[in-house]
């Protein structure tokens, strides 16, 4: 009878331990990880924009400190100034990209009021930037740059196969 009671108590003890660990072993509580950060940058080089394959308008540089700098010219399609779409130069240094577990080929560095900050980047040009988003997609080999500067939205699509 003593053996039966000991076995019964050991089973209850084992169940109690496994139930108490449920919240810390991926049981869906606060420990759920939506994504991760990394520094797998797009290939360095000079690239044409998607809409202008005759002019080099973008450069991706790998810096010695593990960052990459994306420079180029973006266009605004939301306003006209003197009957033309305005353009501006930009320079964005990406320290880390954010990748969602559910979309492993989409890497983001962004900061805006809706989603907050993903990845880490610094914009040195232009001034007056209120939000930015840089998306590096390894499936379709693109880098998309979007930002608002001085209340004007700008964007640029860099297709990495248009390397000069």
Residues 152-164 have pLDDT tens digits of 998 888 777 666 5
Looking at the structure, do residues 67 and 24 belong to the same domain, yes or no?
no
151 vs 90: CA distance, rounded Å: 15
135 vs 137: CA distance, rounded Å: 6
Looking at the structure, do residues 109 and 88 belong to the same domain, yes or no?
yes
Phi, psi of 5 (to 5 degrees): -65, -40
Structural domain range at position 120: 35-163
Q: Please tell me the pTM assigned to this model.
A: 0.73
Residues 66-114 have pLDDT tens digits of 999 999 988 888 888 888 888 899 999 999 999 988 888 888 888 866 6
Looking at the structure, do residues 22 and 55 belong to the same domain, yes or no?
no
Kindly state the tokens that stand for 89: 């130069």
From residue 44, give the alpha-carbon distance in Å to each of 1, 62, 68.
74, 6, 8
Contact 107, 118 (CB under 8 A): no
């Amino acid at each position: 009878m003593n053996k039966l009671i000991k076995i019964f108590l050991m089973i209850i003890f084992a169940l109690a331990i496994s139930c108490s660990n449920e919240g810390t072993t991926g049981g869906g509580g606060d420990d759920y990880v939506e994504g991760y950060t990394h520094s797998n940058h797009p290939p360095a080089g000079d690239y044409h924009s998607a809409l202008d394959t005759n002019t080099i308008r973008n450069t991706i540089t790998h810096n010695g400190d593990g960052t990459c700098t994306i420079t180029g010219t973006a266009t605004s399609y939301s306003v006209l100034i003197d009957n033309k779409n305005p353009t501006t130069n930009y320079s964005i240094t990406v320290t880390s990209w954010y990748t969602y577990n559910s979309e492993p080929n989409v890497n983001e560095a962004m900061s805006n009021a809706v989603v907050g900050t993903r990845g880490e980047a610094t914009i040195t040009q232009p001034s007056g930037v209120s939000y930015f988003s840089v998306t590096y997609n390894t499936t379709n080999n693109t880098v998309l740059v979007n930002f608002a500067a001085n209340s004007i939205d700008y964007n640029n699509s860099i297709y990495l196969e248009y390397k000069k």
